Structure 1
Amino acid sequence: MQIFATFEYSNFVEIAITELEQKGITAIYAVPLDLRKKEPRLLDSIHRADGMSFIDKGMILAFMLGTIGASKGFVWRGGPIIWGIVGSLVGFLIGSAISWLIYLLKRDKNQRQLKKGKVSEVVLIVTCEADQTSVVEDILWDHKALGLAITN
């Protein structure tokens, strides 16, 4: 049986490995994962999307200010069509600027966390007999495993 577990890199991983070796399990393989070195791409493609959008707030504010501009345009000089378009453009620019500022603030926060020394994760692969599975599982959970999977 193989047991896969993920840990944050800490002393708990080393303690878990030592405890497994004391129980007679020697087929242990630990792989540390590297942290991301480059910034993720800013714009999404059709095949890859990260769920972050720069135009969602812009579209909402374009609708709102376009509606207000069109209704006020009946009173103002220029008419409702011109003021509706102006309101939409201004709303879109304001909303996009807000999204951009939020992105910049989050990016700076993430960079500060990386500089503080954010730890990477470790994948631990343990090969054992079927009767040892529950012991290995208990040891890994007791030493703060983030996730665990058992395969045959």
Structure 2
Amino acid sequence: MQIIATFEYSNFIEIAITELEEKGITAIYAVPLDLRKKEPRLLDSIHRADGLSFIDKGMIFAFMLATIGASKGFVWQGGPIIWGIVGAVLGFLLGVVLNWLIYLLKREKNQLQLKKGKRGDVVLIVTCEDHQVSVVEDILWDHRAFGLAITK
């Protein structure tokens, strides 16, 4: 049987490996994952999307300000069509700028957490007999495994 677990690289994984070796399990394979070296792309393509959108708030503000501009345009000089278009453009720009500022603030916060020296994750693969599965599983969970999978 193979048990696959993920850990954050720390002393806990070293202790877990030592305990597994003390239990007589020697087929242990640990693979550290590389950290991202480049900043992720900001704009999405049609085939790749990360859920980050800059125009969603822009469209909402464009709708709101276009409605207000069109209704006030009946009173103001220029008419409802002109003021509706002005409201839509201003609302869209306001929403995009607001989204951009929120993105910059979140990015600054995330960059503080994800400094270059941060440790990555480790995938641990343990091959053992069927009767040892519960012992291995308990050891891995006790040493802060993120996730665990058992395969035959």
> Normalised by the size of structure 1, how large is the TM-score?
0.97
Partner in structure 2 of residue 81 of structure 1: 81
Partner in structure 1 of residue 135 of structure 2: 135
The Cα RMSD (Å) is: 1.0
Equivalenced residue count is 152
1:1-152 alignment, distance < 5 Å = 1-115=1-115, 117-152=117-152
Deviation at 1:102, TM superposition (A): 1.0
- 2 CA distance for matches of 1:119 and 1:64? 46
* Identical counterparts, % of pairs: 83
Deviation at 1:109, TM superposition (A): 1.6
Stretch deviating more after TM superposition (115-124 or 52-61): 115-124
Provide Cα deviations, 1:101-149, integer angstroms capped at 9, x if missing partner: 1111112222222227432111000000111101100000011101000
AA matched with 1:94: L
Task: Return closer, same or farther for 1:126/1:38 CA change in 2, 3 Å cut-off.
Answer: same
Provide Cα deviations, 1:18-42, integer angstroms capped at 9, x if missing partner: 0000000000000111111111111
- 2 CA distance for matches of 1:117 and 1:65? 46
Structure 1 gap ranges (5+): none
SS of 1:122's partner is strand
AA matched with 2:7: F
SS of 1:24's partner is coil
SS of 1:50's partner is coil
AA matched with 1:134: S
Deviation at 1:89, TM superposition (A): 0.2
AA matched with 2:109: K
Deviation at 1:95, TM superposition (A): 0.3
Provide Cα deviations, 1:66-105, integer angstroms capped at 9, x if missing partner: 0000000000000000000000000000000011111111
AA matched with 1:19: E
- 2 CA distance for matches of 1:33 and 1:101? 32
Over 6 Å off, 4+ runs: none
